[in-house]
Amino acid sequence: MKNVKRKKHDKDNVLHLWGGRFEQEPAEVADRFANSLKADRRLALYDIKGSLAQARGLLNAGILAPGEYSSVQKGLHRIETEFRAGRFVADPADEDIHTALEKRLHAIIGDTAYKLHTGRSRNDQVVTAFRLYQIDEIKAIIAGLLDVQSALHVLAIRHIGVPMPGFTHLQHAQPVLLSHHLLAYTEMFNRDIERLFHAYYATSVMPLGSGALAGTPYDIDRETLSGPLGFRDISMNSIDAVSDRDFAVDVVYALSTLMMHFSRLSEELVLWSTDEFGFVSLPDAFTTGSSIMPQKKNPDVIELTRGRTGRVYGSLISLLTMMKGLPLSYNRDMQEDKPAVFDALDTVKAVLDVWSQLLRHITVNTGKLHESLSHGNLLATDIADYLTRGGMPFRKAHALTGRIVLYAIKKGVDVSSLSYDELKAFSPLFRPDIVHALDIKASINSRVVTGATAEKQVKTSIKKLEKKISHYRGILGRL
Ligand code: ARG
CA distance 90 to 93: 8
Which of left, alpha, beta for 327 (phi over 0: left; psi -120 to 50: alpha)?
A: beta
CA distance 324 to 322: 6
Ligand 1 within 6 A of 36 CB?
A: yes
Report pLDDT for 439. Answer: 96
Mean pLDDT score, 298-303:
94
Query: What are residue 172's DSSP bridge partners?
Result: 167
Question: What pLDDT digit, counting tens, does each position of 97-115 carry?
Answer: 999 999 999 999 999 999 9
* Three-class SS state of 6: strand
Is residue 297's pLDDT more than 70? yes
Quick one: which of 259, 243, 352, 355 has its CA closest to 314?
259
DSSP H helical segments within 273-411, as ranges? 300-324, 337-358, 366-373, 380-389, 394-411
Mean pLDDT score, 343-352:
98
CA distance 334 to 464: 42
CB 164 within 8 A of CB 175: yes
What secondary structure does DSSP assign to 131-161, as a single string? HHHHHHHHHHHHHHHHHHHHHHHHHHHHTTT
Is residue 343's pLDDT more than 60? yes
DSSP H helical segments within 170-299, as ranges? 178-203, 222-229, 238-243, 246-272
Hey, which of 96, 97, 121 would you mutate to test ligand 1's pocket, going by the most ligand atoms within 8 Å of its Cβ? 96
Cβ count near 268 (within 10 Å) = 18
Which residue would you say has higher pLDDT here, 17 or 127?
A: 127
User: Pseudo-torsion of CA 371, 372, 376, 380, nearest 10°?
Assistant: -80
Indicate which atom in ligand 1 lies nearest the CA of residue 334. Answer: 12
CA distance 39 to 95: 11
Ligand 1 within 6 A of 130 CB?
A: no
How buried is 93 (Cβ within 10 angstroms: 0-12 exposed, 13-18 middle, 19+ buried)?
middle
Ligand 1 within 6 A of 332 CB?
A: yes
CA–centroid distance, 333 to ligand 1, in Å, is 9
CA distance 194 to 202: 12
Report pLDDT for 26. Answer: 82
Question: What pLDDT digit, counting tens, does each position of 375-428 carry?
Answer: 999 999 999 999 999 999 999 999 999 999 999 999 999 999 999 999 999 999
Is residue 3's pLDDT more than 50? no
Ligand 1 within 6 A of 126 CB?
A: yes
363-364 vs 163-168, strand pairing mode: unpaired
Report pLDDT for 406. Answer: 97
Q: Known catalytic residue: 169?
A: yes
CB 151 within 8 A of CB 355: yes
Report pLDDT for 295. Answer: 87
Q: Known catalytic residue: 290?
A: yes
Is residue 6's pLDDT more than 80? no
Indicate which atom in ligand 1 lies nearest the CA of residue 330. Answer: 10
Amino acid, single-letter form, for residue 24: Q
The pLDDT-based confidence of 13 (bands split at 50, 70, 90) is low
Q: Which domains does the chain have, with CATH numbers?
A: 27-118 (1.10.275.10), 123-371 (1.20.200.10), 380-438 (1.10.40.30)
The pLDDT-based confidence of 220 (bands split at 50, 70, 90) is very high
What's the pTM?
A: 0.94
- Candidate list 9, 70, 77, 290, residue with the active-site label: 290
The percent of residues in the chain predicted with pLDDT above 90, rounded, is 90
CA distance 207 to 361: 45
